[in-house]
Amino acid sequence: MRRHVRRLLVACALLTVVPTVAFADLSTRLDNQELTSSSEVIVIGRATSTQSRWIDRTLVTAVNVQITETLKGPVDGSVEVILPGGVDAARRIPVAMTYAGAPMMRPGEDVFLFLVYDADVRGYIVTGFAQGKLSIMTDANGVRRVHRDLRGSQLVEGAGISRGTVTMAGLSAFREEILGYLAQ
């Protein structure tokens, strides 16, 4: 009986100290040309592994991405990308942190990434929060497409705010668009 009371007290304590979850991030909308120019690294690759870790008091997920093509920047082979949020199940009471609109990757996922180095996390982060991470999928016709999911985001553009959207384009056309911006 005491054990159940203790668990109930711990659960109540957690409910009082857990911050309210935001439903969307607020970011400045970046078009593909702005993503290209503001990124230090642009790569196509596959997420091979993820690992949560603490950086100061922030829980992050480090994703190892095996690079298949580097469009911009000084990386090859693989790159570690630091994403906000993660799960620390090794604690006596497991902890999870999430950020609305944050980019997410899972092992085995093919990705098109716009990255910038962040000295605070000592690694690469996604440019423009979720705007700089696109999933690569093959449609029913066998065409590889990039898919940008911004549904957890609110984007500031001009004088207004728009809700995030899902966009999809052919991978080869998208790649050529980015290479065109790099050639300018």
Instruction: Give tens-digit pLDDT for 141-157.
Output: 999 999 988 877 766 76
d(CA 46, CA 104): 13
> For residue range 57-82, what is the model confidence (pLDDT) as tens digits?
899 999 999 999 999 999 989 999 99
> Which segments of the chain have a pLDDT < 70?
1-27, 154-155, 157-166
State residue 5's pLDDT score. 38
What are the sequence ranges of the domains in the chain?
21-183
State residue 159's pLDDT score. 53
CATH of 21-183, one of 2.60.40.10, 2.40.50.120, 3.40.50.280, 3.40.50.460: 2.40.50.120
d(CA 144, CA 160): 33
Q: Count CA within 13 A, CB hemisphere, residue 4.
A: 1
State residue 162's pLDDT score. 58
State residue 2's pLDDT score. 47
State residue 168's pLDDT score. 81
d(CA 120, CA 32): 26
Which residues make beta-bridge pairs with 96?
87
Cα–Cα separations (whole angstroms), residue 101 to 8, 17, 135, 145, 149 = 32, 22, 15, 21, 9
Q: What are phi and psi of 137, to 5 degrees?
A: -130, 160
Match 């898919």 to its residue by tokens.
147
Percent of the chain with pLDDT over 70: 79
